[in-house]
């Protein structure tokens, strides 16, 4: 269950086998069925979730009941409403399972204790936050400046399998366009591919 | 010159005097005259700047030459175009001095080396990034959802002296409203204060 997490740790820091065993004790392994919630709007996001298997989505629901995708998290990614998680305030988001999932959950206190116990992890989480900050700034700027096609290409670049695993209307929502516009963009892109 | 920086370090981590001396060697002390640039649009943001004295502003300029404030950094705050600093890509922002400034500059490489040499600093920068991420998410959400008065109040809460130190038209720009709207809001707030 911890294979992928330790693989990710190994990319950034060097932990001994003993330290890895200590780390394990701070996580709560959790299986989610497809469509099951990890977080519901109005609740505090108590866990950071590392995805070992399956994938999650994060979205809001408007007054008319329409869902607006915010992001997806595939194998090897972390998912949380970071603002709610870090500040212990109620979340405006829902997080649920798009497929049957195997997750490793960690509370804010456990994360803090784990870093106190294994200080090397400060570096892992520092780099993680750095990437998260870059992605958030990029998303903010992209939402203001990029065309729909640029947004779609960025999504594909971040996760090449996203187009096969996520329904088209959710993909469209994630980049803030209608399913019809997305369909048109995909057609144009495949036309350009076949003629180039 | 390093008093305030070490005060900020001490709030989050415990460094020995020897470690503090080591830290000093990674920074470049820099004085800026009022209106002098630290970063100009199109350049890569090579330095993270810690403000020991004075204050900085970060802004963009549109096609018509209008300035749009993004943020200010007062004594004890850090300032950088984080995206440009972390990814070494050209910045879309300008950073200049609003008053004569005393700064401590650090490059990305020096920051990395400093953390390798004094690993306790991983924690300091991890917490700093965490706060930066919270502020960025909050700014994104606030720009979409808050009223002008809520935005103004948040600015005052973050820095109570901002209204005395920053010209009104820049304050208005920082919250995305016209100087006339800001003036009206301030009048209403002071009326409510005097009648309550």
Query: Using an 8 Å Cβ cutoff, are B78 and B125 in contact?
Result: no
d(CA A172, CA A83): 24
CB nearest to B134's CB, from A83, A134, A138: A83
Query: Using an 8 Å Cβ cutoff, are B19 and B122 in contact?
Result: no
Distances (CA, A) of B38 to A17, B70, B81: 46, 15, 11
What is the reported pLDDT for A143? 67
From B138, which residue of chain A is nearest by alpha-carbon distance? A83
Provide the 8-state DSSP code for B166. S
d(CA A48, CA A56): 12
Cβ separation B123–A115 shorter than 8 A: yes
Contacts of A86 in chain B (CB under 8 A): 130, 133-134
CB nearest to A137's CB, from B83, B126, B130: B83
Burial of B182 (0-12, 13-18, 19+ CB in 10 A): buried
How many CA atoms does the CB half-sphere of A131 hold within 13 Å? Answer: 9
Query: Using an 8 Å Cβ cutoff, are B38 and B49 in contact?
Result: yes
Phi (first) and psi of residue A101, to 5 degrees: -125, 150
The string of DSSP letters for B81-118 reads -HHHHHHT-B-S-EEEESS-EEEEEEEHHHHHHHHHHS
Contacts of A126 in chain B (CB under 8 A): 122, 125-126, 129
Cβ separation A86–B133 shorter than 8 A: yes
What is the reported pLDDT for B194? 83
Complex-level ipTM beyond the 0.85 threshold: no
Distances (CA, A) of B13 to B10, B19, B128, B164: 5, 12, 12, 33
Q: What is the mean pLDDT of the segment spanning B168-190? A: 88
pLDDT band at B175; cut points 50, 70, 90: confident
Contacts of B133 in chain A (CB under 8 A): 82, 86, 129, 132-133, 136
Closest CA to A170 of A108, A96, A110: A96
What is the reported pLDDT for B31? 98
Cβ separation A137–B82 shorter than 8 A: yes
Q: What is the tens place of the pLDDT at every residue in B84-96? A: 999 999 999 999 9
Q: What is the tens place of the pLDDT at every residue in B2-43? A: 999 999 999 999 999 999 999 999 999 999 999 999 999 999
d(CA B140, CA A142): 12
Cβ separation B130–A86 shorter than 8 A: yes
Q: What is the mean pLDDT of the segment spanning B156-175? A: 87
Contacts of B139 in chain A (CB under 8 A): 140
Query: Using an 8 Å Cβ cutoff, are B85 and B53 in contact?
Result: no
What is the reported pLDDT for A147? 82
Tens-binned pLDDT, residue by residue, of chain A (196 aa): 899 999 999 999 999 999 999 999 999 999 999 999 999 999 999 999 999 999 999 998 888 888 888 889 999 999 999 999 999 999 999 999 999 999 999 999 999 999 999 999 999 999 999 888 888 887 777 766 678 888 888 888 888 888 888 999 998 888 878 899 999 999 998 888 887 6
Cross-strand pairs, B97 = B56
Q: In the structure encoding, which two tokens stand for residue A10, read together?
A: 């190994």
Q: Is the pLDDT of residue B143 over 70?
A: no
CA A133 to chain B, closest CA, distance in angstroms equals 5
The 3-class secondary structure across A91-120, one letter per residue, is: CCCEEEECCCEEEEEEEHHHHHHHHHHCCC
pTM: 0.80
Cross-strand pairs, B37 = B96
Question: To the nearest whole number, what is the mean pLDDT of chain B?
Answer: 91
Cβ separation A138–B83 shorter than 8 A: yes
What is the reported pLDDT for A144? 63
């Amino acid at each position: 269950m911890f294979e992928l997490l330790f693989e990710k740790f190994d990319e950034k820091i060097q932990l001994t086998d003993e330290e890895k065993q200590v780390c394990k004790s701070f996580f709560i392994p959790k299986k989610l069925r497809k469509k099951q919630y990890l977080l519901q709007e109005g609740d505090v996001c108590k866990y950071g979730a590392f995805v070992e298997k399956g994938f999650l989505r994060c979205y809001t629901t408007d007054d008319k009941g329409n869902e607006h995708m915010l992001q997806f998290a595939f194998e090897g990614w972390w998912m949380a409403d970071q603002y709610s998680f870090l500040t212990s305030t109620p979340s405006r988001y829902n997080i649920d399972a798009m497929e049957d999932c195997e997750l490793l959950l960690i509370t804010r206190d456990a994360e803090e204790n784990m870093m106190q116990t294994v200080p090397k992890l400060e570096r892992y989480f520092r780099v993680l936050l750095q990437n998260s900050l870059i992605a958030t700034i990029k998303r903010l700027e992209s939402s203001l400046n990029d065309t729909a096609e640029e947004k779609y290409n960025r999504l594909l670049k971040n996760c090449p399998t996203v187009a096969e695993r996520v329904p088209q209307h959710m993909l469209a929502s994630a980049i803030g366009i209608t399913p019809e516009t997305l369909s048109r963009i995909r057609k144009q892109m495949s036309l350009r591919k076949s003629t180039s």
